[in-house]
């Protein structure tokens, strides 16, 4: 594939870190942006998660305290902010928080939002079709009975994954009684495969990348009329499940008396792989905060599939390999060569920009967060620190702040690093870093 050459493309090809501003973004015209999703769909997803709360508490007692609602803490990380500023020789104005989706119950990653939601949506559809439930107002504890498990055991749920989505799909599907089959790429960590098998899921391993795992998983599922495939590249259900995060975050900010408005901007950094989780979250945040939230993605320099897809306007038609990049990275959850077209076209006008990060920065970020805050997150999650640094330390970043008219109020800004995974990492794996 031949692409127009310019300096940004050259830097991407060389595997350099870049900070990119999205020319399609116009913060003050959010209401005029047309997408394939609606606020009603997000409301529906939120209500569905509430209906399933008694099912969640039944299978995962650790959620009893939260009433079966799977949500993560929002934690200020002032000591980590001080460390970042010292090491980079710069200032990060305002307050810095960590959104700990790394510590979501059940599967310990952001994928617990969309992945678990899609399994529950499919379960609800089956239960209504087969008479286990009579309506949305029925008692959902019926879905934990032996009759329900016998029904679900006749069906398969399959997914292709580099790791965390597979964990969320596999753990929840197996708990409900389905035959869970997870197709995992070469990038997937061994401990994730082992954990899935311990929880009753089957794992099929491939020597190829994420794209191959998805392709093979989709093909296997399509050949089986009793199989349901969770399609990370094209799933509207995943997107809606992730988007619920926007209203959840708003409630947490309200609880901590943190305003978001023209005088108090919200700046959010999210790691990005194929795009489902960060795209859905971005959509949800924009629904809640409009022009006052500024969202940036983070990707590895060897796998910046969303940056390439958005910047060229080719979305999923272009791969990182077309730029001479390997797609391989220590940030296993971000080891994706081609972004989701569905997600890219729906968030193209909503995303402020993106920063890329070299693998060698990830371990120091992990260690610094542990030493300053005693919080452990995965390499993939640590990628989000890079665009935060770039926003305040590069000419491109400062240009964005000027263009958005928020330079004068940055002292009242709230910045959030969206930590996407880490709490389920085995202790022996953590000790290698910390």
Sequence spans of domains, the chain: 7-107+239-431, 111-238
Tens of pLDDT, residue by residue over 335-375, are: 999 999 999 999 999 999 999 999 999 999 999 999 999 99
CATH of 111-238 among 3.80.10.10, 3.40.50.1100, 3.40.50.300, 3.40.190.10: 3.40.50.1100
The CA-atom distances, in angstroms, between 396 and each of 26, 297, 391, 406, 422 are 16, 15, 7, 15, 31
pLDDT band at 29 (very low <50, low <70, confident <90, very high): low
Using CB atoms within 10 Å of the CB of residue 54, give its burial: 0 to 12 exposed, 13 to 18 middle, 19+ buried: middle
User: Can 7-107+239-431 and 111-238 be said to share one CATH topology?
Assistant: yes
pLDDT(434) > 90: no
The pLDDT value given to residue 32: 53
Mean pLDDT of 222-248: 96
Mean pLDDT of 151-163: 96
pLDDT(3) > 60: no
The pLDDT value given to residue 186: 87
User: 418 forms bridges with which residues in the sheet?
Assistant: 99
Structure-block tokens of residue 293: 């939230």
The pLDDT value given to residue 45: 98
414-428: b (≥16 Cβ within 10 Å) or e: bbbbbbbbbbbbeee
The pLDDT value given to residue 5: 47
Do 79 and 98 touch, CB atoms closer than 8 A? no
CATH of 7-107+239-431 among 3.40.50.10420, 3.40.50.1100, 3.30.1360.10, 2.70.70.10: 3.40.50.1100
pLDDT(121) > 70: yes
Tens of pLDDT, residue by residue over 381-410, are: 999 999 999 999 999 999 999 999 999 999
pLDDT(6) > 80: no
Pairwise CA distance, residues 262 & 43, whole Å: 26
Three-state DSSP state, 299: strand
Helix (H) or strand (E) holding 46: helix 39-51
pLDDT band at 43 (very low <50, low <70, confident <90, very high): very high
Sheet hosting strand 19-21, strand order edge to edge: 19-21, 353-357, 293-300, 266-271, 414-419, 95-100, 74-76
Long-range contacts of residues 145-151, Cβ cutoff 8 Å, at least 24 apart: 148/176, 148/177, 149/176, 149/177, 150/177, 151/126, 151/127, 151/177
Angle between helix 385-393 and helix 395-403 axes, rounded to 10 deg: 80
Mean pLDDT of 70-81: 98
The pLDDT value given to residue 28: 61
Look over the chain and give the mean of its residue pLDDT values, rounded to a whole number: 95
Three-state DSSP state, 34: coil
Structure-block tokens of residue 382: 């640590």
Q: pLDDT above 70 covers what percent of the chain?
A: 96
The pLDDT value given to residue 116: 98
Mean pLDDT of 19-46: 84
Tens of pLDDT, residue by residue over 13-25, are: 999 999 999 999 9
Query: In whole angstroms, what separates CA 308 from the centre of its chain?
Result: 18
- Look-up: residue for tokens 């990275």? 329
pTM exceeds cut of 0.75: yes
The pLDDT value given to residue 429: 82
In 89-155, DSSP assigns E strands to 95-100
The pLDDT value given to residue 2: 37
Q: pLDDT above 90 covers what percent of the chain?
A: 91
């Amino acid at each position: 594939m031949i692409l127009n050459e310019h300096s940004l493309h050259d830097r991407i090809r060389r595997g350099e870190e870049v900070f990119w501003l999205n020319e399609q973004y116009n913060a003050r015209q959010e209401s005029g942006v047309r997408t394939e999703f609606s606020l009603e769909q997000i409301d529906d997803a939120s209500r569905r998660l509430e209906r399933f709360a008694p099912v969640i508490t039944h299978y995962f007692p650790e959620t009893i305290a939260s009433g079966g609602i799977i949500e993560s803490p929002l934690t200020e990380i002032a000591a980590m902010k001080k460390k970042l500023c010292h090491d980079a020789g710069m200032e990060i104005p305002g307050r810095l928080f960590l959104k700990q989706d790394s510590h979501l119950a059940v599967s310990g990653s952001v994928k617990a939002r969309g992945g678990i939601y899609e399994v529950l949506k499919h379960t609800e559809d089956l239960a209504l079709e087969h008479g286990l439930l009579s309506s949305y107002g029925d008692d959902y504890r019926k879905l934990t009975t032996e009759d329900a498990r016998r029904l679900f055991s006749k069906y398969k749920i399959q997914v292709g994954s580099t790791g965390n989505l597979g964990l969320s799909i596999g753990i929840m599907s197996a708990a409900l009684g389905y035959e869970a089959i997870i197709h995992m790429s070469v990038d997937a960590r061994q401990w994730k495969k082992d954990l899935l098998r311990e929880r009753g899921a089957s794992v099929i391993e491939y020597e190829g990348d994420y794209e191959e795992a998805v392709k093979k998983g989709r093909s296997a599922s399509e050949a089986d009329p009793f199989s349901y495939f969770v399609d990370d590249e094209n799933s509207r259900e995943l997107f809606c499940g992730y988007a619920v995060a926007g209203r959840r975050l708003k409630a947490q900010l309200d609880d901590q008396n943190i305003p978001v408005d023209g005088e108090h901007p919200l700046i959010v950094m999210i790691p990005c792989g194929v795009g489902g989780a960060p795209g859905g979250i971005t959509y949800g945040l924009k629904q809640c905060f409009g022009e006052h939230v500024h969202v940036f993605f983070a990707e590895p320099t060897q796998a910046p599939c969303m940056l390439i897809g958005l910047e060229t306007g080719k979305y999923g038609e272009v791969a990182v390999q077309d730029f001479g990049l390997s797609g391989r990275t220590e940030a296993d959850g971000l080891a994706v060569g081609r972004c989701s077209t569905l997600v890219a076209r729906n968030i193209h006008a909503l995303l402020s920009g993106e920063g890329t990060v070299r693998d060698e920065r990830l371990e120091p970020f992990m260690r610094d967060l542990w030493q300053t805050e005693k919080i452990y997150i995965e390499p993939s999650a640590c990628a989000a620190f890079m665009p935060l640094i770039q926003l305040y330390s590069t000419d491109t970043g400062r240009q964005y702040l000027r263009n958005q008219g928020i330079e004068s109020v940055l002292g009242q800004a709230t910045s959030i690093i969206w930590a996407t995974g880490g709490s389920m990492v085995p202790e022996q794996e953590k000790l290698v870093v910390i």
